[in-house]
Structure 1
Amino acid sequence: MLVAVADPLLHPEVTTIVAATGRQRLDTTEPAEITRHGHRASALIIDPETARGLGASQLRVPVFLVHPEPGPVDWKLAMAVRAEEAFILPAQAPELLRALGRGEDPTEPDAATVTVCGAVGGAGTSTLAAAIARDRGTCVLVDADPCSGGLDLLLGLEDSLGIRWSDLDFTRGQMAASELLKALPRAGDGPRVLTHSRGDLGRAEIAPEQLVGAIDCLRGHASVVIDSPAHGEGFEVACEASDLIVVVVPAEVRAAVSAHALVGRLQAKRHRVIAVLRHRGWSGLDRKDVEELANVEVVAEVATVARLHKKVETAGLPARLPATIARAAKKVGEALAA
């Protein structure tokens, strides 16, 4: 839960109420930080001083405006920040507590959102994304690339029952996370998968509001790993909603130069970015070279795995991942927890 309260009298009142919900609290009054963390919060509690600096909220989370006694409520400001409700504290503390308690309780409070993209095509992004998803407990692997062959093929799920992107419409309202998790196809005891329909010919790019809707629905109930191209509106909203962005960089000069431009754009927006170095055949660069060229920390390296392509083609990604890929997924998990 995000607390954006600068008023020294209001802040302790709000922290007491949040503590009563049993949910984790993050405090910040910086507009950039509110925007960065707001998408991952279950709610935003904000006071007038901070709200005036924030402007119209673009966050898709419940916003509650709080005023100190004796009030009154600034309803014009409440409308400007798109607040669901406004309260005067401490007099209306019970009402705020009830408002915060609405909706589905989080079942996975440590769930995180990770976006995985390639510095160039053919970097092995989907394979690494699937490996990271397998390492995240309750997790949904999201196929956000309209030009991909489909994550269901990668995982051998093309004949599995379950809903696909074409079955969902988050623009008509939110659905319960528990319902979505039950309806998605699943790779054995591994991640659930949200991908395209096999017969969905001429598919368009996933609408940003659809992607955000899926992430919002699952927040607090499952980790989300997004396999995305490194461009487009969908990529932008995925990055905004992510705790970490993983760039897969082949150990080659042109790939490292491309990564430098991509990482620079992401870091300019204050996103957390790490890289995984991919050796595909002959490698012209080593780890240190790529870190210097791309200006990003390389947390793991993935070697070429003989015969993996054949296994994926005939039976999907094996249940027991090659050690080099499994280690890279673990390293990403460690970076996420740091």
Structure 2
Amino acid sequence: MPATFVPRRPLVVTSDDDLLDDLLRLAAAGGSEVDLAPDPANARPRYSAAPFVLIGVDQAKACVQARLPRRPRVVIVSAPHHAGAAWDLSEALGVEHVAVLPSAEPWLVDRFSQPASTLDAMPRGAVVAVVGGRGGAGASVFAGGLAVTAKKAGLRTLLVDADRMGGGLDLVLGWEEIDGLRWPALSQSDGRIDAAALIGSLPNRGGLIVLSWDRGELLALPGEAMAAILDAGRRACDLVVVDLPRQLDDAAVMALQAAVRTFLVVPAELRAAFAAARVVAAVQMHCVDLSLIVRGPSPGRLKAKDLVEQLHVPLAGILRPEPAIVRALERGEAPASSGRGPLASLCRRIVADLMGPAREASA
């Protein structure tokens, strides 16, 4: 797990030595250090979490082709003779600004001077992603249990349902009758969401806030909307738990790249293990820390260590059979709400592991 949840340096993406020299000079004038990436492949692991991103015009087309997820606070930097190409690519990248040197140098110095003071106001809540190794793996129940447990531990928690084909996390919690905005009302967000307004508009009880789907038309979830929700959630909450689809879209990739840990929930079954291998291959391209939750029972006596060896993913925990959860969900009771049983015990341990480093980082 990373030592800190808040990136301290802006990300510069360029392989143009002259442009890089200019940006390093301007960063030094603004009293800032930067992270460097020569291309989008190297930038991807840090792209979503950086406080802001400067993309050299030499890498702008490559970033579009790499389908880097949209996010706020992205700037293309260009010399005057390439400004036209920079503007042509700006919409595809969803950039905030095109900075043409040397006229934009004072603006960039001011931008570089902001991180030291701004980062204290940057999101400090940890993002955790959960994905199922196959359909019906129990990932949504685990995500719900994790959020409920975090709330019981005194953490303000945002639970995000990013799986538009799922049954809805509001149903998992028994919250379908609670008023508040759902994804369709927020899916056209342009990245400017006031954190306090967001928290006040979503279904919530105490310190647990939920963003789920309604029962209407299925809409695509843009990466920009996910970026805005993650940004607002990290500002307003201690923990953001995102329940992801197995087929990754731009929004899911955005969440994976922002997550400090990703948990893959896999039933202890042979077919589930083979299905999970495909999910692992897709997810590992975008996350920094993937670990396995193995859920019993195992009809074929498949052990957790067998899944670890087959998937090459470290084990985070084992969920023993818990028939009472199914009955509780049918009664509208949120998973792990009783504080008893294997799910609640595992969630308590994971929340403690997550928030110990998070609190040290924000101290």
Same fold per superposition (TM over 0.5) = yes
Match of 1:33 in 2: 42
Deviates more, 1:281-290 or 1:105-114: 105-114
- For each residue in 1:151-181, what CA deviation from the matched residue of structure 2 results, as whole angstroms up to 9, or x when unmatched? 2232232232211123334256743222111
The reply to whether residue 120 of structure 1 matches residue 125 of structure 2 is: no
Quote the offset at 1:270 in angstroms: 6.4
Bigger shift: residues 43-52 or 304-313: 43-52
- The alpha-carbon deviation at position 291 of structure 1 amounts to 0.7
Report if aligned partners of 2:339, 2:345 keep a CA contact under 8 Å in 1. Answer: no
1:33 Cα offset (Å): 2.8
Deviation, 1:44, is 0.6
| Residues 81-96 of structure 1: pairs in structure 2 closer than 5 A | 81-82=89-90, 83=95, 84-86=97-99, 88=101, 92-93=105-106, 96=109
- Contact 2:191-2:227 within 8 A present in 1 as well: no
Check conservation: 1:64, 1:86, Cα contact below 8 A.
Answer: yes
1:47 & 1:260 partners in 2: Cα distance?
36
Say if 1:171 and 1:254 are closer, same or farther in 2 by CA, change over 3 A: same
* Matches of 2:89 and 2:256, distance apart in 1: 19
State the shift of 1:279 in Å. Answer: 1.3
Percentage of identical aligned residues = 25
In structure 1, C-alpha distance between the alignment counterparts of 2:87 and 2:299, rounded to whole Å: 58
Match of 2:245 in 1: 229
User: Would you say the 8 A contact 1:165–1:195 is kept in 2?
Assistant: yes
Q: Is 243-252 or 172-181 further displaced after alignment?
A: 172-181
> What is the SS of the residue equivalent to 2:205?
coil
1:145-294 matches, cutoff 5 A: 145-170=163-188, 174-189=192-207, 191-197=208-214, 200-201=215-216, 203-204=217-218, 206-209=219-222, 212-219=224-231, 220-221=234-235, 222=237, 223-231=239-247, 233=249, 236-238=252-254, 241-243=257-259, 244-268=261-285, 272-280=289-297, 282=299, 284-294=301-311
State the alpha-carbon separation in 1 of the partners of residues 324 and 157 from structure 2. Answer: 27
- 2:182–2:213: 8 Å Cα contact kept in structure 1? yes
Q: 1:16 to 1:275 in 2, by over 3 A?
A: farther
What is the SS of the residue equivalent to 2:331? helix
C-alpha distance after superposition, 1:224-254 (max 9, x if no partner): 3222331253675455544243210111211
Which residue number corresponds to residue 328 of structure 2?
A: 311
After superposition, the C-alpha distances for 1:127-163 in whole angstroms (9 at most, x for unaligned) are 2112333438343211233343322232232232211
User: What's the secondary structure of 1:175's corresponding residue?
Assistant: coil
Cα distance 1:125–1:185, how it changes in 2: closer, same or farther (>3 A)? Answer: same
Superposition TM-score, scaled by structure 2 size: 0.73
User: What's the offset of the Cα at 1:284?
Assistant: 1.9
Q: Is the 8 A contact 1:47 1:66 kept in 2?
A: yes
Measure, in 1, the Cα distance between the counterparts of 2:272 and 2:61. Answer: 43
Q: Distance in 1 between matches of 2:270 and 2:166?
A: 25
> Does the residue aligned with 2:197 lie in a helix, a strand or coil?
helix
Look up the equivalent residue of 2:225 and give its one-letter code.
G
Does structure 2 retain, via aligned residues, the 8 Å contact 1:280–1:304? yes
Aligned equivalent of 2:53, options 26, 37, 44: 44
**Which stretch has the larger CA shift, 53-62 or 254-263?**
53-62
**Residue 206 of structure 2: SS of its match in structure 1?**
coil
Aligned partner of residue 41 in structure 1, secondary structure: coil
> What secondary structure does 1:160 align onto?
coil
What per-residue deviation string (whole Å, max 9, x for no partner) do you get for residues 62-95 of structure 1?
323457xxx6574134325525131547983455
Separation in 2, partners of 1:147, 1:47 = 37
TM-score (norm 1): 0.77
Among 13, 23, 26, the residue aligned to 1:13: 26
Which one is further off, 142-151 or 262-271? Answer: 262-271
**Structure 1 pair 172/74, CA: closer, same or farther in 2 (3 Å)?**
closer
- Equivalent position of 1:141 in the other structure: 159
Distance 2:59 2:165 in 1: 42
Unaligned 5+ segments in structure 1 are none
Secondary structure at 1:167's aligned position in 2? helix
Structure 2 gaps of 5+ residues are 1-9, 359-363
* Structure ranking higher in helix proportion: 2
- Indicate if the aligned counterparts of 2:190 and 2:228 stay in contact, CA closer than 8 A: no
Residue 163 of structure 2 aligns to a residue whose secondary structure is coil
Q: Distance in 2 between matches of 1:332 and 1:289?
A: 26
3-state SS, counterpart of residue 120 of structure 1: coil
Give the superposed CA RMSD.
3.8
Deviation (angstroms), 1:290: 0.5
